[in-house]
Structure 1
């Protein structure tokens, strides 16, 4: 084939692919049986390799030659399934061309009756209405003739004897287009590889003709086509409805900046006296406990704990093990419990849970076995509600009690010049609208190129409450960047981002600008009985021993009550407010000159991950924040 013809063929292929590449994703179409006409342009690529005697000389014709011809006839198709459609053609196929030697031209007139059964493969390519074609072309020659120029005597319109029955394989692409209901236009591009030669005639015996055909068919349905339901357009929208915080009265406000300042900061973190288990499991769940002795994290140290209540309470066993070494006179009682639902048939499970905890402490902290007592019961003495799956999950646990209250006392972290954020609870309310189900999402919070926090989940994005812990933000005015990413079931991904300005105040800047410096102390009380607003005995000890001595005449005391997600939201908000009010009344009775603010937040915002039992336990809290001039 000549270079020009190759360029033409390549151009045709590029144009055809460019047209179909702009079409959208595949669909499944019901195609009624149809009949019609087809027409096409043939590019005939002759491959001769024969010697023909002319004027007593043997002339070799072995140069590939290309000719153009036409195709015209009848066509039809019948759908077998959403994937397979049988089609066929009956008509004329022109395969002529002019072959050349150095001195002569061999003009071949080759006309065939074509019979071509084909099979179309639909919905295999992710392009709407594009299909593959495979088939077999057969052809019967109609008076094939040839002429040779520059001969004496002249050779003209000679018959090609022993003409062969043509057989060729068909491969190609087609595009199905419905012009109107029941009328279809189908452009096709096919390649036909010849398996036979033109003739058995001795001096023409090695001569085959592959072919490229660019054709189109117009067909008409034989039966009433089914109604076509228009496909809904594909879409995937992702963003944020709001990024907000809550003011001192609990009202949501749009977040416009975060103020970060260096302060002397003290926080007392409660220690939940339980570790939690997955259903029918002996070992605490991975989300409940990170076991340092079974990891490569190195030696455990209470002084190295991050100031985050959830992460502290995921180290309960190692905290207790360390304190049991510090207080060798202390004894410990471990009480394993079950949910009395799915676990009711396993009577030994509660004792096995307690024994696992004992073995961990004995083997890894070398605690004398006689200092630890284990027992197994059914439900806990004060069970969580049995009417909610969250409550049932919380009843699968091991409870701790000790002869020495130091073993289970809260964790106190105190440092000078810690960064403290205001507001320190940010709520992200995302939205995701997709024509296809959303599989997963992730919210990343970054500052200065470093990832601060990541939240992730399955399905559509959920509301995220970010509780900013001390020193989580860098000492800089670099903005906070938040990035929301999601992916749907078609593996389409979307990402949106935003920023929040940061105002940073060092102790030096506050002195220079004559701004007030402050001391902040924060406490969390979590020992309220279920559905009760009375301050427990243990919490009263914390208030009298640790909180009241820090309240000065010029202190501002902020008291906020929270709950977990179990129960009615409005009821929870009222319960949280009653608990906060109980704490305020008691504190005010002891230090009357301070300024007190209180409110009930309820379950919004969620301070901790309520998908975790320990997160829900920590969420049932009254937080007390004491802000005093420095």
Structure 2
């Protein structure tokens, strides 16, 4: 847009002080994630709290240094209240429970200040240092129990980061030696490092909006020359650029034998309207059960399995009752408890649990006294949370199940601490077709925000063009085997073509070289970490498993591929962030363990795929598939 302005009056340049001082006030929109149950050494509530939010005040004294129109610095010393209320939960008494907190800090916030267009608009970002000054909580159960106190294990100092933007609105005369501005601003306080306590998995992030009053003093500006000439001022909104890059494997493995430590979820999921064990779970006769042994499932991948995603793993999981029966039979001192859950119908939940018990007793000959049963209207760890309104059908389908609980170590692998519910895993061998490290990754940073869609043209040395897409997210991927086709190697020109939401064409170029590798002797290892619904910070509870079990198996100069996934329930962007957080947290734990062990040359490929169906390890048709998609998968590839 071109704006024409004609003037005869004398123009005065606005005074520009270098140092500014002032104060600000804002509202903190706090959001909680994670799991909170033990409040202090005297109080552990019966039902864990997960999500929460709150609006609390923020106030600061500020200083800014602006040596020029673009670059400068900021410092805020602030009172920062991160309080709020957790979402209500149901206590075992079938009554509501509420938890709130008045968590607050003295916050020191140094930031870099950039005015990218040499205008009143500016952006800022930098670290934050929070010193705790208040850590009280209030727990109320059914308006009968009211307990107040201080959180235990609160971190005295919290290190994190923020980023934001604002605009300076002058409210004083141009020639005044002292300049005053009102500056509305908004910022985001990341959840990185924002774990208020040294225990549990509670974390928080904050969106802050407010206004600052600033003043600065400098010499008066001289009057500009009088002009009667029209002044044409171009007003052009700059458009962000897409950053395009390609990441390709040094060699493209066609397939790989993988020894997988396959984690077993401790649940049997039931169909709506039926308390009978679903037919998809493998049922044996008494004679077949006598001959069944768990290690039969550890053999190589059979040839007669239908093609399908993770079909080998799902076949193992659908033998869960036979695995439990074999373990109970082999370890006569062990016991289990079966907890059946059916929405608002505990009697049906008890019947579901009794049917599982009957199968184990009649088929595997397990003494009935070793198996207890109970019925509930919700599982101990439900997917559906109080107040949920979206995708209730899928959530409730996942909550209609029988959970298998045991304190016997012969049945469990406590990779998540002593409270881990997951069953001892099964060791299986499978063949991966087009393993993840064989893919060429196209990264178009900013595409999700700026582009309608984008495509990729891959041109070989003979001029043959392959087309892939359209993509709509920041990343796309294609198997290196697909690009090579019948060629053993090749050099390729990569062209990204897109269209911005404003209609502007975008073109970016890169190149890759690919070489096939077909080594039937190469064998990798795979481990997986399972999560309950919407949990991410529980990755910390797997630190011992990742440090003591996984890290020693990583060879020097090897490759570790870590990919995080979620199911299809929930917001897509939130799921992308959740899976990335899970994967990156696992990498940090392994990197720390490798450093302590003195291992060198290990490379990482860490990705968060969110709910992306094309890359999900399982389908999302069955509740057990969705539960298995809540995972971080760790592949260890030996150096070649």
What is the TM-score when the length of structure 1 is the normalising length? 0.42
Question: Which of 1 and 2 has higher RCO (CA within 8 Å, sep 6+)?
Answer: 2
Structure with higher Rg: it is: 1
